[in-house]
Chain A
Amino acid sequence: MGQILSQIKNGESAVVRAILESSLKVKLMEMGLVEGKKLEILYRAPFGDPIAVDIDGYVLSLRRDEAQLIEVEVQNSATS
């Protein structure tokens, strides 16, 4: 099922399905957020924003606004 990155809970893994159209789209892609990329939500800052995400072993923090631009698919198998 398709979801938005900002809705994913801490500790869950997901695969990027699409980046929504916006002026930040290329920027997000350049940071490694491309279709098919696996990521894990690590933790959130106090007040739930920004969000820290593990992408291939590096940690990217992004604001909710930016996370809302990323469509993902949650991976059900609880992989670490």
Chain B
Amino acid sequence: MKIALLGNPNTGKSSVFNMLTGLRQHVGNFPGVTVDKKTGRIEIEGKSHKLIDFPGTYSIYPRSKDEEVVYKSLCNPESENYPDAVVVVVDSSNLERNLLLFTQVYDLQLPTLMVLNMTDLAAKQNKTIDIDALQTLFPEATIVSSNARVKLGKQKVVEALASFRERKGHRFQQELNFAAIEDIVAQEQETKIRFEHIRQEMSTIERISKKTVPASRGIDKILVHPIFGYLIFGVVLLIIFQFIYAFASVPMDLIDGAFANLSGWTSSILPAGLLTDLITEGIIPGIGGVLIFIPQIALLFFFIAILEETGYLSRVVFIMDRLMRPFGLNGKSVVPLLSSVACAIPGVMSARTISDWKERMITIMVAPLMSCSARIPVYTLLIALVIPSETYFGFMNLQGLVLFALYALGTLSALFIAILLKWIIKTKEKGFLLLEMPDYKFPRWQNVGITVWEKIKVFVWDAGKIIIAISIVLWGLATFGPSDRMETAAAEAQNEAMKQNLDEESTNRLVASAKLENSYIGIMGKTIEPVIAPLGYDWKIGISLITSFAAREVFVGSMATIYAVGDDSEESRPLIEKMRSETYTDGTPVFSLAAGVSLMVFYVFAMQCMATLAVVKRETKSWKWPLLQMGYMGILAYLGAWITFLILS
């Protein structure tokens, strides 16, 4: 049996879904839209059934393209998602508004179960619901009450699922026919008639003994305060970022180390050859390159889920909305953009809460311009290389100022591009913000855990495939060269090392460097030299630009390989010395101030991250957006770096 799960937003629908299915969830697609289709399996009387979680809506009629799946699945028996029965989660504390969707679904004549959720909240507001009266009103529906947040009523719901009542044609609104999807006038009429009818019935269903003012109202006075509101949000962000930087690096280093060891160990037990190289230098680092992002994704979504569960997130949206609007963004863009300062991947994924399609696309398109943590190794290397460590006014360090300027450049350009996109992207729908601000609650840890788990799963399975494919291609380009060029170069390097009496480690580095230079990537780096020369780069930098498409921090490792020095990012002294002494044939240094700053500007703008690309593809469900993004960021990077070089040289 296929069972559809419906309900208004903020009714605890996902709590009900999690309560019923636990971790037996699967994320898939609804055809043609960007919302995910979450399905789970539930066991009822020994039989397994499929539960489909539909997006939360206030009505079966869609107000956005993503909401169309509800109407299209429920009103079309031919649809692959047409359910055999429907569960509607209803917020007991807000019954009147919730009944609109319920009466619509009830009138569809599908076996229907009403889950009266959030009974504790209704009790707090002194609202009592007469279930018998409700049952009289909907005689062919099964009605159960529950409090999914504290897992109350799971057994009742499961039992009710086994006893759907047969539909014999009873309707709440006898005379109404369903309106067509585009017939707004009829939908308006229907909404009006239904609400009038619901309102007449409310007096028999619900009793309010005494009106209370929820505690949330008092808390809101502070949290949306013009000064304290922003201050508190700032502090919350600070705490979150402290946690991410303090805790993400440990597992990230562990993953990094473990995969390096795994590569080494695998190559030691397998016979030397191309297949071994593919495994140890292509596939294993590729998988490592996927897993390395998990700590940041997990930590960010852990905090985002808590903010969301408690109800604080909607207050952030409330106080930030006006500030973001001039940029074509909305209050909900704040979390994705700020998350991108740690990593654009969770940032892009968290943009899913933005219901307006245009605002969501703009947010996703500009998020990677926020300087992420992977740029830090590149920035610090280049700053140490070309920016003198001078102090002004006793405390302003020039190197620190440059780092700040790079972050500011990223943020400002994100906002600027957002304004441009606001003018370029055309939509029929007008942007709006109609946001429920739920009462403050304690977070449900199961919901937080499942959110984190689900985000990791989606990233690893959906984006991971693309990331591994690109790593293998990059490996191939770095491993193979035309005819026997690489072998010849390697042999020459070996001879050279013998002549110089180098130790084994240095010899290996020299050989690796010679091989990379003569591989396809090396040749590509040389080929693009005329194109990047105006930016102040030579072919060696060109090679690193290509390899660091895998991830920005790869730039440091690539430079180390090319210059045949040990890649120890903790102590990059030898690399810096080598880079500093690098000169063109006429004796001028390669890493002049102009070239160094130009390279920094390049990394501020360029989409040098295949994982972000893969996630944007996953989230927008098309290659169009990630490719456009890579294109505009590339142009911006090239022009920005070129202008910088012109000004400084």
Q: Across the interface, do B94 and A58 meet the contact criterion of CB distance under 8 Å? A: yes
Q: Is A62 an interface residue (CB 8 A)?
A: yes
Give every chain A residue within 8 A of B213 (Cβ-Cβ). 80
CA distance A28 to B220 in the complex (A): 23
Q: Which of A26, A27, A42 neighbours the largest number of chain B CB atoms within 10 Å of its CB?
A: A26
CB within 8 Å for A58 and B97 given contacts A30-B58, A66-B432: yes
**Interface class of chain B by DSSP:** helix
Give every chain A residue within 8 A of B63 (Cβ-Cβ). 26-27, 30
Give every chain A residue within 8 A of B156 (Cβ-Cβ). none
Q: Is B151 an interface residue (CB 8 A)?
A: no
CA distance A49 to B321 in the complex (A): 8
Q: Across the interface, do B96 and A32 meet the contact criterion of CB distance under 8 Å? A: yes
For B220, the closest partner residue in chain A by CB is A43
Shortest distance between the CB of B127 and any CB in chain A (Å):
8
CA distance A63 to B325 in the complex (A): 11
Q: Across the interface, do A59 and B437 meet the contact criterion of CB distance under 8 Å? A: yes
CB within 8 Å for A27 and B434 given contacts A46-B226, A61-B314, A61-B318: yes
Q: Across the interface, do A46 and B94 meet the contact criterion of CB distance under 8 Å? A: no
Q: Which of A27, A30, A60 contacts B437 (CB 8 A)?
A: A60
Shortest distance between the CB of B642 and any CB in chain A (Å):
39
Q: Is B188 an interface residue (CB 8 A)?
A: yes
Q: Across the interface, do A46 and B100 meet the contact criterion of CB distance under 8 Å? A: no
For A66, the closest partner residue in chain B by CB is B432
Q: Across the interface, do A46 and B58 meet the contact criterion of CB distance under 8 Å? A: no
Shortest distance between the CB of B57 and any CB in chain A (Å):
8
Q: Across the interface, do B319 and A62 meet the contact criterion of CB distance under 8 Å? A: no
Q: Which of B94, B100, B318, B321 neighbours the largest number of chain A CB atoms within 10 Å of its CB?
A: B318
Give every chain B residue within 8 A of A63 (Cβ-Cβ). 321, 432-433
CB within 8 Å for A30 and B221 given contacts A50-B318, A50-B322, A63-B432: no
CA distance A43 to B436 in the complex (A): 14
Mask of A40-53 contacts with B, CB within 8 angstroms, 1/0: 00110111011010
Would you list which residues of chain B between 414 and 445 have a CB under 8 Å from chain A? 429-430, 432-438
Q: Which of A36, A46, A55, A61 contacts B433 (CB 8 A)?
A: A61
Q: Which of A24, A43, A49, A55 contacts B432 (CB 8 A)?
A: A24
Shortest distance between the CB of A10 and any CB in chain B (Å):
11
CA distance A50 to B61 in the complex (A): 26
CB within 8 Å for A66 and B433 given contacts A25-B188, A57-B94, A80-B213: yes
Q: Is B217 an interface residue (CB 8 A)?
A: yes
Q: Across the interface, do B434 and A58 meet the contact criterion of CB distance under 8 Å? A: no
Give every chain B residue within 8 A of A65 (Cβ-Cβ). 432
What range describes how many residues of B lie at the interface? 35 or more
CA distance A26 to B195 in the complex (A): 12
Shortest distance between the CB of A18 and any CB in chain B (Å):
11
Q: Across the interface, do A29 and B221 meet the contact criterion of CB distance under 8 Å? A: no
Mask of A1-43 contacts with B, CB within 8 angstroms, 1/0: 0000000000000000000000111111111101110000011
Q: Across the interface, do A58 and B93 meet the contact criterion of CB distance under 8 Å? A: yes
CA distance A18 to B434 in the complex (A): 18
CA distance A9 to B96 in the complex (A): 26
Q: Is B211 an interface residue (CB 8 A)?
A: yes
For A30, the closest partner residue in chain B by CB is B58
Q: Is B612 an interface residue (CB 8 A)?
A: no
Shortest distance between the CB of B443 and any CB in chain A (Å):
19
Give every chain B residue within 8 A of A26 (Cβ-Cβ). 59, 61, 63, 184, 187-188, 191
Q: Across the interface, do B436 and A60 meet the contact criterion of CB distance under 8 Å? A: yes
Q: Across the interface, do B211 and A43 meet the contact criterion of CB distance under 8 Å? A: no
Q: Across the interface, do A56 and B96 meet the contact criterion of CB distance under 8 Å? A: yes
Give every chain A residue within 8 A of B224 (Cβ-Cβ). 43, 45-46, 52
Give every chain B residue within 8 A of A36 (Cβ-Cβ). 199
Shortest distance between the CB of B482 and any CB in chain A (Å):
60
Q: Which of B59, B434, B438 contacts A66 (CB 8 A)?
A: B434
For B208, the closest partner residue in chain A by CB is A57
Q: Across the interface, do B191 and A29 meet the contact criterion of CB distance under 8 Å? A: yes
Q: Across the interface, do A46 and B229 meet the contact criterion of CB distance under 8 Å? A: yes
Q: Across the interface, do B436 and A59 meet the contact criterion of CB distance under 8 Å? A: yes
Q: Which of A25, A27, A31, A45 contacts B318 (CB 8 A)?
A: A45
CA distance A50 to B314 in the complex (A): 12
Shortest distance between the CB of B13 and any CB in chain A (Å):
15
Give every chain A residue within 8 A of B373 (Cβ-Cβ). none
CA distance A46 to B323 in the complex (A): 9
Shortest distance between the CB of A29 and any CB in chain B (Å):
5
Shortest distance between the CB of A45 and any CB in chain B (Å):
5
Give every chain B residue within 8 A of A58 (Cβ-Cβ). 93-94, 97, 436
For A62, the closest partner residue in chain B by CB is B434
CA distance A47 to B216 in the complex (A): 22
Would you list which residues of chain B between 8 and 27 have a CB under 8 Å from chain A? none
CA distance A11 to B479 in the complex (A): 70
CA distance A59 to B184 in the complex (A): 26
Q: Footprint of A on B, CB under 8 Å?
A: 58-59, 61, 63, 93-94, 96-97, 100, 125, 127, 184, 187-188, 191-192, 195, 199, 211, 213-214, 216-217, 220-221, 224, 226, 229-230, 314, 317-319, 321-323, 331, 429-430, 432-438
Task: Give 19 A-B pairs besides A30-B61, A50-B322 with Cβ atoms closer than 8 angstroms.
Answer: A25-B184, A26-B63, A26-B191, A27-B63, A29-B188, A30-B58, A30-B59, A30-B191, A31-B434, A34-B191, A42-B220, A43-B221, A46-B226, A46-B322, A57-B94, A57-B127, A58-B97, A59-B436, A61-B434
Q: Could you write out 7 A-B pairs with CB less than 8 Å apart?
A: A26-B184, A26-B187, A28-B434, A30-B191, A47-B323, A59-B436, A61-B435
